[in-house]
Structure 1
């Protein structure tokens, strides 16, 4: 429940799935990019959540595959959500590089580039039974999904 210290290769894989597309995005902003003043509370939650998720994903080896059993389905679902997240990034990068491709729903999932990774990280915390990552994922979700929703509303009203 509190986690076993040790390196998590699964956490590293998740972090690579999160960081690499975001770095590439930094060099491929939408053509209709709109600089929006982000809510300071949401931004604080997002940054704190990012910091703790990054640390916890790497320092607890509970997220690694130790054996296959029914509980491993949580890990499988988390990986499926992360794969869907990467597909959404692909939709943006292959598309016209416009904001709507960044925010529009994916198979009915609203704000998929915010909802999918946060949910995947939360489910990884369930799989590893590490409460700290679960709390960090909730904090990240409040900030990241809040900011993304705020940005989506501003773009729709543009």
Structure 2
């Protein structure tokens, strides 16, 4: 693991954060009602994972493209997951912005808005052979996906 700035990590974080900033002004109706019921343990895991992923994605040059190899396939798949994440958001922003829209799936991937970026960052950790990002992504996934699965269950 090599310390230094990761432009790939920055690209992934921008792809993650820009739609979320827009979402903050376009939350689904009654979102606050569901937010109040969030499991505190899952919420703590989500926050720890968010901070970990944000910091780790930026501070290792191992995530940058150094050469094209088998490992590049993993980065390519991670990037495709982030593109699907952007498509998910475009679909959400064009929708009626209901809770059902918020927790929809895409290509059979449940709660796509939570699952896709977690998987993408997990693969970024695999690509960079960075156990810290892998572990942080797992922690984030338990919290973030868990919260959103619970919200989806409440909506249904």
TM class, shorter-length: over 0.9
Q: Do structure 1's residue 81 and structure 2's residue 81 form an aligned pair?
A: yes
8 Å contact from structure 1 (residues 31, 97) kept in 2: yes
What is the TM-score with the length of structure 2 in the denominator? 0.96
Per-residue deviation at 1:16?
0.6
- TM-score with structure 1 setting the length: 0.94
Number of the residue aligned with 1:51: 51
1:6 paired to 2:40: no
CA distance in 2: counterparts of 1:34 and 1:12, whole angstroms: 30
Q: 1:31, CA displacement in angstroms?
A: 3.0
**Structure 1 gap ranges (5+):** none
Return the match for 1:31 from 29, 49, 65. Answer: 29
2:107 corresponds in structure 1 to 107
Please give the alpha-carbon distance, in whole angstroms, between the structure 1 residues aligned to 2:21 and 2:105. 22
Shift of 1:11: 0.3
Aligned match of 1:61:
61
Deviation at 1:34, TM superposition (A): 4.8
**CA positional deviation for 1:155:** 1.2
1:32 to partner: Cα distance: 4.6
Q: Cα deviations across residues 53-101 of structure 1 (Å, max 9, x unaligned)? A: 0000000010000011121000000000000011001100011111211
State the Cα distance separating 1:102 from its structure 2 match: 1.2
CA distance in 1, matches of 2:49, 2:30: 28
Of 98-107 and 118-127, more deviation after overlay is shown by 98-107
Q: Which consecutive unaligned segments of at least 5 residues does structure 2 have?
A: none
Q: Secondary structure at the match of 1:105?
A: coil
8 Å Cα contact 1:34/1:155 also seen in 2: no
Q: What CA distance in whole angstroms lies between the structure 1 residues aligned with 2:128 and 2:95?
A: 36
How many residues end up aligned between the 2 structures?
A: 154
What is the RMSD computed on CA atoms of the aligned residues? 0.9
